[in-house]
């Protein structure tokens, strides 16, 4: 009797904990593994999944199916509207292939947890066992606790504990690809070429799919850029970061594979001689931290602020300001360049994510939920935990350890991180001829010259921004 391996956000064959155990368990029983993936278009739309991400998933499934075929594991595809429809659909498949067990890697978001509970119950009624594994992080959510047994809520102590834990317990190994099984009669389903409600993404070449592409990108980053990561990671015009977030978000690479590559560049130390590799590990820990928070505080999945008192903040109702931000027409070149790049590529550099999120929530004083949603609807790496964490950090409703609230000046950020305006020139061509000084703030140009540019004046007066946001935060104090 076969074992079902249910793929979700772990679309790879190598270092896949549930797949590895499924194969081992099946072979000890002289049985085989059948893989399954569930497409839930209405649920994906309700979760604001971007078409670019849906497209990446389909292309990755094709790669996965081909990888699994080399192991004689067929990949079945189930399409049902929502998570609520998944338990009965899986049960039907389990009956059809006469499966006795379902293996899967855990997802920690609340709707996913509820779906899995319902599925486990439905299968248990028919004596089909379920086996869930922690795989999405190097250290599973819930393992690291403060001295008082509480979940960490601040990054730096979390990171210290993460390092201490791995130094004492050992770093988890990367699991090999499972062994090939004997051919079986069950055939793979064709991966659909499109999903209802999701437009095909016009530029798939930007995001090569599958675990081979992911490993290639990781190797290239480890060889060429990890050493200089600390110095180059903040400059959007430089290809100085790994651009692996989309692979991590759908699991075409594992965090352990990433960590081992960084350790290799860091003499096997988590906090070692290479500042670049050490810093990159720290970013992987941010990812783990936000996953850990999501598991600890399910309310974060429900749109609630991490700091409850900030739910009283009086955000401005400004649909025109929001539209200008969304379309890259705010009159602040670095913000507009970043927002236009997002719409065109489906990705944004981390420094720019912080700048535009601060701009929306502090300069325009617009509710972070609107920005969070727009990001999810357009990011190839859209991921509830990281996106929510990043937005709440930027809006000062989240876990930032800075006292009170933090605000960036987008023009100073632009001068610092895009000094010669290379990034702005690429995405805001109407400013391409300005010099390296004026390109950051064309509102400083003499009026006559400014009127010749086809570029909007700033939609908000920076002189009053700080005062306005200070007052808003002051009003909720106590």
For binding to ligand FAD (CB under 6 A), which residues are involved? 233, 241-245, 248-249, 283-284, 286-287, 290, 349-350, 353-354, 357, 375, 379, 381-383, 386-387, 389-391, 394
Query: Which ranges of 328-364 does DSSP label H, i.e. alpha helix?
Result: 333-345, 350-358
Nearer to ligand FAD, 3 or 386 (CB): 386
Map residue 407 onto helix, strand or coil. Answer: coil
Nearer to ligand FAD, 138 or 439 (CB): 138
Contact 215, 66 (CB under 8 A): no
Query: Residue 38 corresponds to which tokens in the numbers above?
Result: 């569930």
Q: Residue 315 catalytic?
A: yes
**Active-site entry in 368, 387, 393, 427:** 368
Q: In what order do the strands lie in the sheet with 75-79?
A: 75-79, 33-39, 3-7, 101-105, 129-133
Q: Residue 201 catalytic?
A: no
User: In whole angstroms, what is the distance from residue 210 CA to residue 374 CA?
Assistant: 26
Contact 211, 13 (CB under 8 A): yes
For residue 454, which of 329, 338, 335 has the smallest C-alpha distance? 329
Residue facing ligand FAD at closest CB distance: 390
**Active-site entry in 42, 151, 350, 409:** 350
In the complex, minimum distance from the CB of residue 185 to ligand FAD, in angstroms, rounded to a whole number? 40
Query: Residue 287 corresponds to which tokens in the numbers above?
Result: 């990812």
In the complex, minimum distance from the CB of residue 351 to ligand FAD, in angstroms, rounded to a whole number? 8
In the complex, minimum distance from the CB of residue 475 to ligand FAD, in angstroms, rounded to a whole number? 24
Q: Residue 368 catalytic?
A: yes
**Active-site entry in 201, 207, 280, 391:** 391
In the complex, minimum distance from the CB of residue 286 to ligand FAD, in angstroms, rounded to a whole number? 4
**Active-site entry in 42, 151, 283, 409:** 283
User: In whole angstroms, what is the distance from residue 431 CA to residue 160 CA?
Assistant: 45
Q: Residue 211 catalytic?
A: no
Nearer to ligand FAD, 158 or 290 (CB): 290
Query: Residue 386 corresponds to which tokens in the numbers above?
Result: 């990281």
Nearer to ligand FAD, 135 or 381 (CB): 381
In the complex, minimum distance from the CB of residue 296 to ligand FAD, in angstroms, rounded to a whole number? 16
Nearer to ligand FAD, 103 or 207 (CB): 207
Q: Residue 391 catalytic?
A: yes
Contact 166, 156 (CB under 8 A): no
Q: Report DSSP letters for 246-286, one per residue.
A: HHHHHTSS-HHHHHHHHHHTTTT-TT-S-HHHHHHHHHHHH
Catalytic residues: 283, 286, 315, 350, 368, 391
């Amino acid at each position: 009797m076969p074992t079902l391996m249910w793929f979700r956000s772990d679309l790879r064959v190598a270092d896949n904990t549930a797949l590895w155990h499924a194969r081992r368990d099946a072979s000890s029983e002289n049985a085989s593994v059948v893989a399954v993936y569930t497409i839930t278009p209405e649920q994906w739309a309700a979760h604001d999944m971007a078409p670019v991400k849906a497209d990446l998933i389909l292309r990755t499934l094709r790669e996965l199916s081909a990888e699994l075929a080399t192991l004689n594991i067929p990949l079945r595809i189930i399409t049902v509207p929502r998570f609520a429809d998944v338990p009965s659909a899986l049960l039907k498949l389990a009956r059809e292939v006469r499966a006795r067990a379902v293996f899967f890697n855990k997802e920690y978001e609340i709707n996913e947890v509820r779906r899995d509970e319902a599925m486990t119950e439905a299968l248990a009624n028919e004596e089909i066992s379920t086996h869930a594994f922690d795989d999405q992080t190097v250290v599973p959510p819930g393992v690291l606790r403060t001295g008082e047994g509480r979940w960490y809520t601040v990054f730096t102590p979390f990171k210290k504990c993460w390092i201490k834990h791995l130094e004492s317990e050992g770093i988890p190994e990367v699991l090999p690809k499972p062994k090939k099984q004997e051919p079986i009669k069950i055939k793979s389903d064709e991966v659909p070429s499109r999903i209802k409600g999701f437009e095909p993404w016009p530029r798939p070449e930007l995001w090569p799919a599958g675990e081979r592409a992911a490993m290639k990108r990781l190797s290239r980053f480890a060889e060429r850029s990890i050493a200089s990561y600390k110095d180059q990671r903040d400059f959007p015009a430089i290809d100085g970061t790994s651009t692996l977030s989309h692979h991590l978000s759908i699991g075409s690479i594992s965090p352990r594979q990433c960590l081992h590559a960084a350790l290799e560049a860091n003499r096997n130390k988590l906090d070692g001689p290479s500042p670049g590799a050490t810093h990159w590990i720290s970013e992987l820990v941010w990812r783990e931290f936000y996953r850990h928070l999501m598991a600890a505080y399910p309310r974060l999945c429900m749109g609630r602020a991490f700091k409850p008192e900030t739910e009283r903040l009086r955000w401005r109702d400004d649909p025109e300001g929001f539209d200008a931000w969304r379309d890259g027409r705010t009159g602040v070149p670095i913000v507009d360049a970043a927002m236009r790049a997002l719409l065109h590529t489906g990705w944004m550099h981390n420094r720019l994510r912080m700048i535009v999120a601060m701009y929306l929530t502090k300069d325009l004083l617009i509710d972070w939920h609107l920005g969070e949603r727009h990001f999810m609807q357009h990011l190839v790496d859209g991921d509830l935990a990281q996106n929510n964490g990043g937005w709440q950090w930027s809006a000062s409703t989240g876990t930032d350890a800075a006292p009170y609230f933090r605000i960036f000046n987008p023009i100073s950020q632009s001068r610092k991180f895009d000094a010669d305006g290379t990034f702005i020139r690429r995405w805001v061509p109407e400013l391409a001829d300005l010099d390296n000084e004026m390109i950051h703030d064309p509102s400083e140009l003499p009026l006559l010259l400014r009127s010749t540019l086809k570029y909007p004046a700033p939609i908000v007066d920076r002189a009053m921004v700080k005062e306005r946001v200070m007052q808003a935060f002051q009003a909720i104090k106590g």
